[in-house]
């Protein structure tokens, strides 16, 4: 039963022209390929690497096995975009060499030619992983190397003095994220070292000095630490620093996830008074996320939308794995603690179809929004604001009887995603498990936004304070949408918008 008290604008539930997206048949042929998230044309992808913004173009490099849909010899793939939504795949940037395969890392613009490769040279700092040394079980098989490009990432020259940071005897020694530290006038490398983060400093990207180590007896330690990132935020209380640390396994909903620490960095040492464990994304499928270099005050993160629990076995044909939507990070104080927030970059708005907004509607039990989603071929976003907080569930279902459910459980004060019935979930035991995320406090109103792109859902709740990303593998697109509430409440600014990448 739907009880409509008043609607301040005339609501027309338009059946949008199905031309906006490919037909279901085409979508199935493309085997779950997202429409507005980056995927490689073929082969395997994992971590985003070397994210950097150059002259109006965003560069996304990525861990890539171009010759197979499972993990294997790592290359750096490459894609570019002017808006973080439309990506164009470029030729492979970095190939394995005599020092090893090319594991994760970052890229910086060397404005002052500190490395001597040229002013404004693009320098990639990455981990060489040597499989021959690995077999010797000495633990010395990972070390940091650099390469540079003078043509915006198309062609690369590896530095003849590689590695620039040899392995000091640490089995897991990888994923260098480098930034220029203005106050200290040097490059800072944030490096994953087993289950800690070690900071290194350098004046020239070639010679590195160990500065400090962080992470013992703090944070989640259910698995190895990987892909760190160190971010500086200006706040009314002065600068705050956020340290992102991906961890695998040991995430809040099993497997891979990214925790964060809010604290200070004095140019050498990261410190925090944070006691609890905080997660950047509570969903199962957002890992190894890092931010772009050279975006001034914008902090834009892209993560890998998968989980090592099942990454190699999710349904796939010619390619495997996509990236999350690019997210703008913020830092907000909430009840005396600092929280990292993440919302889709505003560039996404440009590809949203016009749609009608239900400015205000009272819902007692449920609202049928099927005519809204039916034509959108699983390529849309939804959002609303709930005035009085009550439990709710959004159910997206298709003609095959598959259903994706997500919402807010008021009794437990947690958001959740249930993908157990949303298509193939048989390939892994962990995959069908309900993912949950405790809400932080119970503020009203409750703002909720979610993105659907063929085989994925990304939830941004409470203005991005609680996020959840999850894959699913439904046979066909959702044609039904039910929005159920536990108790009568007022929903404002309710909208479902198709995403049209042809815009």
Q: How far is the CB of 95 from a copy of itself (least distance, A)?
A: 4
Q: Is 47 a catalytic residue?
A: yes
Give whichever of 13 and 92 is closer to a copy of itself, judged by the CB atom: 92
Q: Which CB atom, from 97 or from 239, has the smaller least distance to a copy of itself?
A: 97
Looking at 31, 47, 229, 239, which residue is catalytic?
47
Smallest separation (angstroms) from a copy of itself to the CB of 130: 18
Which of the residues 288 through 317 are near a copy of itself (CB under 8 A)? 317
**368: helix, strand or coil:** strand
Question: Count residues contacting a copy of itself (CB under 8 A)?
Answer: 17
**One of 318, 350, 354, 438 touching a copy of itself (CB under 8 A):** 318
Q: What is the pattern of x (binds a copy of itself, CB under 8 A) and - over residues 52-91?
A: --------------xx-x-------------------xxx
Is the CB of 158 or the CB of 181 nearer to a copy of itself? 158
Of 244, 268, 270, 266, the residue nearest 257 (C-alpha):
244
Instruction: Output 45 or 417, the one with its CB closest to a copy of itself.
Output: 45
| Comparison of 63 and 403: residue with beta carbon closer to a copy of itself | 63
Footprint of a copy of itself on 255-274 (CB under 8 A): none
- Residue 43 or 201 with smaller CB distance to a copy of itself: 43
Share of the chain residues as helix, strand and coil, in percent rounded to the nearest 5: 5, 50, 45
For the bound state, the minimum distance from the C-beta of residue 101 to a copy of itself, rounded and expressed in Å, comes to 13
Report yes or no: 469 and 459 within 8 Å, Cβ to Cβ. yes
Site for a copy of itself in 13-42 (CB under 8 A): 40-42
Per the DSSP assignment, residues forming a β-bridge with 229 are 244
Q: How far is the CB of 40 from a copy of itself (least distance, A)?
A: 8
Binding-site string for a copy of itself from residue 120 to residue 159, where x marks contact by CB under 8 A and - marks none:
-------------------------------x--xx----
**The tokens of 78 are what?**
């490459």
User: Could you tell me which of 213, 237, 252 has the C-alpha nearest to residue 338?
Assistant: 237
**Is residue 20 classed as helix, strand or coil in its secondary structure?**
helix
Closest distance to a copy of itself from the beta carbon of 60 (Å)? 16
Between the CA atoms of 192, 197, 200 and 206, what dihedral angle is there, to the nearest 10 degrees?
0
Q: Which of 95, 180, 212, 385 binds a copy of itself (CB under 8 A)?
A: 95
Minimum gap (Å) between residue 294 Cβ and a copy of itself: 22
Tracing tokens 């609607």 back to the chain, one arrives at: 7
Q: What is the C-alpha separation between 28 and 32, in angstroms, rounded?
A: 6
CB of 149 to a copy of itself, least distance (A): 10
Nearer to a copy of itself, 69 or 248 (CB): 69
408 DSSP β-pair partners: 392, 415
Cite the beta strand spans of 236-365 per DSSP E: 238-248, 257-265, 270-271, 278-279, 287-291, 300-304, 319-320, 327-334, 337-344, 358-363
Burial 471-481 (b: 16+ CB within 10 A, else e): bbbbebbbbbb
Task: Please enumerate, as own/partner, the contacts of 297-300 that have beta carbons within 8 Å and a separation of 24 or more.
Answer: 297/234, 298/328, 299/231, 299/233, 299/328, 299/329, 299/330, 300/51, 300/58, 300/84, 300/326, 300/327, 300/328, 300/329, 300/345
Write out the catalytic residue numbers: 47
Which residues of this protein are in contact with a copy of itself, per CB under 8 A? 40-43, 66-67, 69, 89-92, 95, 151, 154-155, 317-318
């Amino acid at each position: 039963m739907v009880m409509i008290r008043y609607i301040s604008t005339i609501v027309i539930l338009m059946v949008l022209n199905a031309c906006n997206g490919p037909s279901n048949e085409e979508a199935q042929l493309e085997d779950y390929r997202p429409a507005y998230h980056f995927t490689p044309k073929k082969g395997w992808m994992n971590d985003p690497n070397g994210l950097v913004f150059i002259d109006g173009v965003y560069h996304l490099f990525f861990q890539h096995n171009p010759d197979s849909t499972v993990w294997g010899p790592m290359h750096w793939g490459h894609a570019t975009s002017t808006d973080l939504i439309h990506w164009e795949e470029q030729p492979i940037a970095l190939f394995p060499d005599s020092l090893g395969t090319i594991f994760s890392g970052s890229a910086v613009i060397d404005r002052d030619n500190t490395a001597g490769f040229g002013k404004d040279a693009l320098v990639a700092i990455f981990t060489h992983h040597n499989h021959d040394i690995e077999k010797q079980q000495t633990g010395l098989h990972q070390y940091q190397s650099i390469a540079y490009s003078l043509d915006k990432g198309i062609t690369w020259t590896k530095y003849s003095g590689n590695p620039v940071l040899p392995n000091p005897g640490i089995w897991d020694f990888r994923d260098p994220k480098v930034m220029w530290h203005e106050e200290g006038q040097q490059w800072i490398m944030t490096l994953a070292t087993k289950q800690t983060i070690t900071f290194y400093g350098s004046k020239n990207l070639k010679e590195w000095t160990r500065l400090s180590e962080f992470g013992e007896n703090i944070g989640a330690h259910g698995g190895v630490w990987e892909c760190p990132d160190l971010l500086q935020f200006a706040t009314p209380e002065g600068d705050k620093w956020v340290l992102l640390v991906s961890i695998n396994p040991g995430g809040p909903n099993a497997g891979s996830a990214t925790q964060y620490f809010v604290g200070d960095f004095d140019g050498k040492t990261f410190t925090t008074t944070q006691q609890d464990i905080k997660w950047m994304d509570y969903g199962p499928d957002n890992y190894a996320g890092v931010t772009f270099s050279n975006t001034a005050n914008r902090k834009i993160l892209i993560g890998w939308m998968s989980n090592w629990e099942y990454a190699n076995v999710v349904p796939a044909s010619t390619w495997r794995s996509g990236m999350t939507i690019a997210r703008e990070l913020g830092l907000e104080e909430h009840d005396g603690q600092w929280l990292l927030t993440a919302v889709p970059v505003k560039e996404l708005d440009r590809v949203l179809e016009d749609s009608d907004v239900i400015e205000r509607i009272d819902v007692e039990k449920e609202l049928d929004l099927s005519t809204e989603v039916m034509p959108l071929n699983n390529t849309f976003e939804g959002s609303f604001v709930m005035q009085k907080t009550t439990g709710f569930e959004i159910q997206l279902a298709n003609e095959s009887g598959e259903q994706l459910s997500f919402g807010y459980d008021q009794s437990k004060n947690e958001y959740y995603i249930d993908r157990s019935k949303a298509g193939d979930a048989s390939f892994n035991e962990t995959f069908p498990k309900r993912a949950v995320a405790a809400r932080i406090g119970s503020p009203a109103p409750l703002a909720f936004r979610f993105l659907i792109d063929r085989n994925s859902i990304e939830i941004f709740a409470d203005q991005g304070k609680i996020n959840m990303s999850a894959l699913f593998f439904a046979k066909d697109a959702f044609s039904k949408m039910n929005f159920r509430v536990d108790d009568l409440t007022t929903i404002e600014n309710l909208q479902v918008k198709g995403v049209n990448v042809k815009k």
